[in-house]
Structure 1
């Protein structure tokens, strides 16, 4: 799931893309251009919150650059570092976009069991993701209770830079922070609801 390839262990559904690296490099690696995107200034706090153990994602997915092309903290999670460093990618690694990964299914199952107030089953599936990321599972945390808020927080950590967290925000009607402008957009129909196309109403009367 790192290096702009389909994860051999976690990808359930992915897409091959010949131009994926070009787009990601422009948006997430390069700085100073109109297309570059910056991390939220307090992104560290997101990974340090409710943390027990060593979060491999925080250690591996972010890198602080001081070069002409890239400067400051950048998210390298989906950047194809093989192409960036002109290295040879293993043949088994297919470059492309992870559209659905195993952790997302575990989050869905976790939310289902939380809706039934079945803490034990919810923790069982949630811990599969936590432990694979180097963190202590809730089953081993004294007095800890897993809540929907904590699942949403974990989704944000896991899905950063994949374009998937938007759907979580939409489902729970959350406000959206846009790091480039520094603006917070309150949740509303203007953000989350597409207007009905005019041609949909042409033959209704």
Structure 2
């Protein structure tokens, strides 16, 4: 695993040496933009190019926002990364660490630099595009841009409870330019992000076939818009709305959007999405667990062409990961419940520490499994349940929690107001381990000690949770 992480960061470093300013990199699509954005086929091609950028090095299990990459390293899930990321020592003057930060920053903004010309080009040529293509392609592009900007502000922006309202943090890019971009205050940045999500929601609500067909069955709906869970579809946007509002501290809106997803139904009244259970988890049989619960995916990125579990740091010859056991017992994280589906994702050695675990969350992502399962989740239904558990009334929270416990094979013990925050935060961590999201769980909830954080590292606060800008952005 250590070797695999090193290879990933070296690759990012090599990419980062190719440019001097990530925010002024001209996307290749602008070369033919005058023609590309004037036809349905052209804008669909441009959107596909943006997805290719997303899945190549950012939104895949081994990528920047994946389970074995930059974001997961910050969550201290892996104890043997060899670069002090899990200790939150950000020595960006070190060539290796600096290139790692440059690569992550660049990888995210490069996606934005491709989505933004597409969005603006479609607006300029709206009369030349069919209504359905305009609504779906522009809606997805806006959602992608908002999602990536949200990840950027969650990484390099402030802790949500410790915002300096006068400080400018990052640029929110809505126009392509070769000049330096304007840095925005936190509120300005989030206002632009919500504007993108609101427009995406409105556009996709008009035309997304996922509204009229079961989420996992849009291929049978006489439509060319296939595999909607592998795209930023309408319900994915609702999920992103909930995530972004929760991050911003607007719990009322976060709850509203989470309930919209949870309560969504098909035309026959059946649930649009349903929590995964033991039957789903083991549906591929022994040796190919569906640890990401594909039917729960509200949106994601198809990584079938770029990720093979058998050849990855998860499933290769060196997959045993030594956990430090400095801050917690791995079994204790799951309350000693070995039946918990989240625990079953890990092969766990019961001998005394140091001990080994193997992550099987992405085991189904192999060439011999169903193609739709090779989807890197960006937002899952379970996050909506967790949001309801955190933001709803105690009655709403416990109704959702009881369903959640049944699906995940846990004993239901009602939440109380006095223990709700701590217990729901713990469920977030168990649910999202090795999925690139838990650094944000810790940061939003001001957790002082991450569960696998090395003993010789400092408690987490602003210095650990607010990343320094990468060297090339100075």
Q: Distance in 2 between matches of 1:28 and 1:176?
A: 29
Q: Distance in 2 between matches of 1:193 and 1:10?
A: 31
Q: Relative contact order, CA 8 A, sep 6+: which one is greater?
A: 1
Structure 2 equivalent of residue 31 of structure 1: 318
Q: Which runs of 5+ in 1 are unaligned?
A: 66-70
Equivalence map 1:69-84=2 (5 Å): 72-80=356-364, 82=366
Whichever structure has more strand as a proportion of its residues is 1
- What do you get for the CA RMSD once the two structures are aligned? 3.6
Name the CA shift for 1:198/1:20 in 2 (closer, same or farther; >3 Å).
Answer: closer
Name the CA shift for 1:180/1:189 in 2 (closer, same or farther; >3 Å).
Answer: closer
How does the TM-score come out when normalised to structure 2?
0.32
The superposition leaves residues 130-149 of structure 1 with CA deviations (integer Å, 9 ceiling, x where unpaired) of 1101123235xxxx635110
How does the TM-score come out when normalised to structure 1?
0.68
Give the superposition deviation at 1:164: 1.0
Structure 1 equivalent of residue 340 of structure 2: 55
Name the CA shift for 1:5/1:62 in 2 (closer, same or farther; >3 Å).
Answer: closer
Structure 1 equivalent of residue 152 of structure 2: none
From 422, 431, 435, the equivalent of 1:149 is 422
The superposition leaves residues 40-96 of structure 1 with CA deviations (integer Å, 9 ceiling, x where unpaired) of 5311111126x5x942332x211258xxxxx9321212234645xxxx2124x3313
Larger Rg: 2
Aligned partners of 1:106 and 1:129 also within 8 Å: yes
Give the superposition deviation at 1:179: 4.9
Query: Please, which moves more after superposition, 14-23 or 176-185?
Result: 176-185
Aligned partners of 1:29 and 1:74 also within 8 Å: no
Structure 2 equivalent of residue 68 of structure 1: none
Aligned length: 177
Give the superposition deviation at 1:157: 1.2
Query: Please, which moves more after superposition, 162-171 or 23-32?
Result: 23-32
Aligned partners of 2:300 and 2:376 also within 8 Å: yes
Q: Distance in 2 between matches of 1:6 and 1:16?
A: 13
Name the CA shift for 1:79/1:39 in 2 (closer, same or farther; >3 Å).
Answer: farther
Equivalence map 1:94-113=2 (5 Å): 94-113=373-392
Aligned partners of 1:5 and 1:94 also within 8 Å: no
Q: Which runs of 5+ in 2 are unaligned?
A: 1-275, 282-288, 350-354
- Secondary structure of 1:111's counterpart equals helix
2:411 maps to 1:136: yes
